[in-house]
Amino acid sequence: MAEILLRRLAELATLSDSPDGLTRLFLSPAHKRAVALVAGWMQEAGMDTHLDAIGNLVGRKGNGKTLLLGSHIDTVRDAGWYDGNFGVLAAIAAVQAAGELPYAVEIIAFGDEEGVRFPQTLSGSRAVAGRFDPAALAGLDADGVSMGAALSAFGCNPDGVAAVARNPAEVLGYVELHIEQGPVLEAEDLAVGVVTAINGASRFAVVVTGDAGHAGTVPMAMRRDALAAAAEMILAVEAVGRSAPELVATVGALAVHPGAPNSVPGVVKFSIDVRAPVDAARHEAVLAITNAFDRIAGSRNVDLSLTQTHDAPAVSCSGRLREFLSAAVTANGIVPRFLPSGAGHDAMAVADLCPVAMLFVRCKRGISHTPEESITPEDAQVAVDVLVEFLRKFRNDD
């Protein structure tokens, strides 16, 4: 089974908008070809398929209340083969292997998890959860094409997006397989792990303003060095990130003006990204960072601007679904490892509809969003086996 799955992943990876590497953007020609290819594999697994109004590919098998499975088939630019794609194709393999089930199953290949083409992200999963903002249809890509126009060209009906929303009373839950995108499972020599929560995230744009000047003529005691102040602030971000388990804080972008080797920096702009599986811990971290920034700005006599650019609450995974997943992991001879997800996933949006759960699969060196993404056939097989066991043992409380 793993051999077929990895062969399909390799074939899917050939469908790219770029001749160099894998780039498959939402509603692009490569996305259109991917939908046709994956639909064929869903049909081989005995599923009925359709493309919904927001560009999600849906495969369905069975009758009655429905368990949702899936992930996304869009990618970042210059992507790896497994982010998102593995979850969709592994779900197809598991549904085919599981046989008849006492409930319906839908596999959804979401089209817009990465948010690379249009201003909004998670469009497909938001629509399924009934949380899609119709204003997003007017959002433009880099070529000035609106999402609504792109949907129409793709063969979808933008006026029908609201009807994509599922009825919560008819949905049993959502389970997503995904590569870990982190190093924990590899470090502990585990093939899979059960996700406890998807971290909430806060992002800020920071501007530190001092006085630019000549590097040779401005005395050290008289400087308002924006970069020196920013450097101290960045170390404060790191210190806060290290202050609590499962909390992370990152400065990932930095711009220095005038940016010359013989100039005292006058303006520095940088980003902050703070994440935690518990929102209270994230909020406390943000407060600690802002207090430290105020102190540093005052001591170094620089001006500070801090603007929040993103805020997403943490999503807890369903305890009941986690129990079924951990039992399936145990049945495959593995001690369950519980861990949070630091990255966002479609499950974050689907959580507004129904209980959600995720199973992580070990990836080499924790690398993701690059062509170096890698998993082993053995781990791929374990992940499918765990999902098959889950599907066979899962029961609704009703």
208-256 pLDDT per residue, tens: 999 999 999 999 999 999 999 999 999 999 999 999 999 999 999 999 9
Same domain, 148 and 221: no
CB atoms within 10 A of CB 72: 27
Q: Please count the structural domains in the chain.
A: 2
Q: Among 121, 110, 49, which residue's Cα sits nearest to residue 74? A: 110
What is the C-alpha separation between 341 and 200, in angstroms, rounded?
10
What are the helix (H) ranges across 180-225? 184-187
Shared-domain flag, residues 208 and 276:
yes
Structure-token pair, residue 215 = 């590097």
Task: Return the CATH number at 304.
Answer: 3.30.70.360
Q: Is 263 helix (H, G, I), strand (E, B) or coil?
A: strand
Give the separation between CA 281 and CA 278, rounded to whole angstroms.
6
Q: How far is CA 302 from CA 196, 207, 213, 226, 263, in A?
A: 42, 10, 14, 7, 17
246 half-sphere exposure, CB direction, 13 A CA radius: 18
pLDDT band at 398 (very low <50, low <70, confident <90, very high): low
Query: Does residue 216 sit in the same domain as residue 261?
Result: yes
pLDDT of residue 397: 60
Check whether residue 302 and residue 220 sit in a common domain: yes
Asked whether residue 338 is domain-assigned, the answer is yes
Report the alpha-carbon distance of residue 127 to residue 89 in Å, rounded: 22
Centroid of chain to Cα 46: 29
Claim to verify: residue 192 and residue 204 sit in the same structural domain: no
**Domain stops at, among 272, 290, 312:** 312
Average confidence (pLDDT) over 121-138 = 95
**Residue 172 pLDDT:** 97
- DSSP states along 319-362: HHHHHHHHHHHHHTT----EEEESS--HHHHHTTTS-EEEEEE-
Question: Based on the domain organization, do 153 and 31 belong to the same domain?
Answer: yes
CA 63 centroid distance within chain? 30
Do β-strands 248-250 and 267-276 pair in parallel, antiparallel, or remain unpaired?
antiparallel
Q: What is the span of the domain harbouring residue 247?
A: 200-312
For residue 264, pLDDT over 60 is answered with yes
- Between strands 248-250 and 192-198, the pairing is unpaired
Q: Residue 234's pLDDT is what?
A: 98
Q: Which of 292, 312, 332 is the endpoint of a domain?
A: 312
- Cα distances (Å, whole numbers) of residue 114 to 71, 171, 365: 11, 25, 22
pTM across the whole model = 0.88
Question: Does residue 239 sit in helix, strand or coil?
Answer: helix
pLDDT bucket at 5, cuts 50 / 70 / 90: very high
254 and 336 co-located in one domain: no
95 and 161 in a single domain? The answer is yes
Question: 17 and 85 in one domain?
Answer: yes
Judge whether residue 162 has pLDDT over 70: yes
Which pLDDT value is given to residue 93?
98
Does a structural domain hold residue 398?
Answer: no
φ/ψ (deg, to 5) at 7: -65, -40
Query: Cβ(47)–Cβ(95) under 8 Å?
Result: yes
Predicted local confidence at residue 396, as pLDDT: 73
Phi and psi for 103 in degrees, rounded to 5?
Answer: -155, 165
